[in-house]
Amino acid sequence: MTTAESTPKGTVSMANLTREEVGLATRNHGILLEALRYPVTPIGMHYLLTHYDVPALDPAAWTLEVGGLVTGPARLTLEDIMSRPRVTQRVTMECAGNGRIAMSPRPLSQPWGVEAVGTGEWTGTPLRGLLEEVGLSDDAVEVVFTGADSGTENGVEQRYERSLSVANALREEVMLVYELNGQPLPPQHGFPLRLVVPGWYGMGNVKWLSRITVVDEPFQGYQQSHAYRIRRHADEPGIPVSRIRPRALMIPPGIPDFYTRERTVAAGPTTLQGRAWSGFAPVERVEVSTDNGMTWADAVLEAQRDPYAWVGWSYGWQAQAGRHQLCCRATDADGNRQPLHPEWNLGGFECNAVQRVVVTVPER
């Protein structure tokens, strides 16, 4: 046999990637970059990030408890939730750790390249209506969302929990979701119910929701006050991770090498294509560089159809013989632009440095 798979390139020491990182990477997969061609990511191709185990939940027995500082605590069945006002939103979700593998030294966690992103057509009911119905007390400060999954992290046993300020929880786009792309939520994406917070990094989109609790002080849970903070030293409180920084990704052109993923592109005119998004403001500009970031030219953007979903872009390139580093970068209407190189932080979050795709164009 002469397939690439049966002719490995020799062996390599794992010093540069730990066994644990590889274990996480096989559990939590990214999108296939060629799947950026779909405006809505097919189920199964959406990226996945699960801290602990996917819990086994029986939809008939499952309920959502809404309590804490509310005038009328409630316990809702899935039927109750599905009979509430129904909305569908196309939302791009990205893990806050996307791009982490480019950081040096590399924070030990899920070793994402640039693939921790996907766009779903999420259907559910606005959170706001439910919160108004149960009635928030005057002293309400935050709303805590508790998942049914549990595990340990740095020795701390916990349920997966995140909070939102009351103001953010009441934003009209925040929703309780029970369908993805017209199907019941798949188990791995939070069946039977999850939170979706459009524009925010993935960690706030609590899956397997079991409880909503209104509290009168900032939530101190692990995922809120320890993880998902931008800091350079372990002893600083840091800045909480929230909205998604702009990023553009390219569908790698041409054909890949099995092992290196380096690309071969035929000489001549070719269209580079991809998608770009930002959780702060609409994407205003995507630029492409075919010389590793030395010079840039504007790509053509599709019209933005949904405020929280990525937009398509394209760029005509005259591929000439040689080896090229293709890059793309997004700028949003707030003036946020992707950096050329990673900005290091302890957790490896918000690393939106530009993507680089190496291609070789053979002589004709």
Ligand X SMILES: Nc1nc2c(c(=O)[nH]1)N[C@H]1C(S)=C(S)[C@@H](COP(=O)(O)O)O[C@H]1N2
Interface residue with Mo ion among 202, 238, 252, 253 (CB under 5 A) is 202
- Output the CA angle 271-276-280, nearest 5 degrees: 160
Q: Which helix (H) or strand (E) holds 22?
A: helix 19-27
**Residue 277 binds which one of Mo ion, ligand X, none, with CB within 5 to 8 A depending on kind?**
none
Our CB check for ligand X shows the closer of 49 and 248 to be 49
Binding region for ligand X (CB under 6 A) out of 16-24, 47-55, 247-255, 325-333: 47-55
Cα–Cα dist 304/306, whole Å: 6
In the DSSP assignment, the letter for residue 307 is T
At 235 the three-state DSSP class reads: coil
Question: Which one among 47, 122, 219, 277 touches ligand X, defined by CB under 6 A?
Answer: 47
| Nearer Cβ to ligand X (192/253) | 192
Distance CA 41, CA 121 (A): 9
Q: Determine if 51 is a binding residue for ligand X (CB under 6 A).
A: yes
E strand or H helix that includes residue 250 = strand 247-250
Contact 98, 350 (CB under 8 A): no
Q: Pattern of binders to ligand X over 173-192, x per CB under 6 A?
A: ----------------x---
Q: Which of Mo ion, ligand X, none does residue 207 bind (CB under 5 to 8 Å by kind)? A: ligand X
Q: Is 99 in the site for Mo ion (CB under 5 A)?
A: no
CA distance linking residue 277 with residue 313, whole number of Å: 11
Q: Retrieve residue 177's tokens.
A: 């979701």
Which stretch in 17-25, 40-48, 249-257, 318-326 sits in contact with ligand X by CB under 6 A? 40-48
Q: Does residue number 286 form part of the binding site for Mo ion (CB under 5 A)?
A: no
**Among 351, 355, 340, 200, which residue's Cα sits nearest to residue 276?**
355
CB of 192 to ligand X, least distance (A): 12
What is the spatial distance between Cα 118 and Cα 124, in angstroms, rounded to a whole number? 18
Q: Which of 33, 36, 41, 50 binds ligand X (CB under 6 A)?
A: 50
Binds ligand X by CB under 6 A, chosen from 41, 46, 319, 354: 46
Name 132's Cβ contacts closer than 8 Å, sequence gap at least 6. Answer: none
**The one segment of 199-207, 298-306, 343-351, 353-361 that binds ligand X by CB under 6 A:** 199-207
d(CA 176, CA 125): 5
Question: To the nearest whole angstrom, how small is the minimum distance from the Cβ of residue 229 to Mo ion?
Answer: 13
Q: Which stretch binds ligand X (CB under 6 A): 4-12, 43-51, 61-69, 131-139?
A: 43-51
Can you give the binding site for Mo ion, defined by CB under 5 A?
49, 95, 202-203
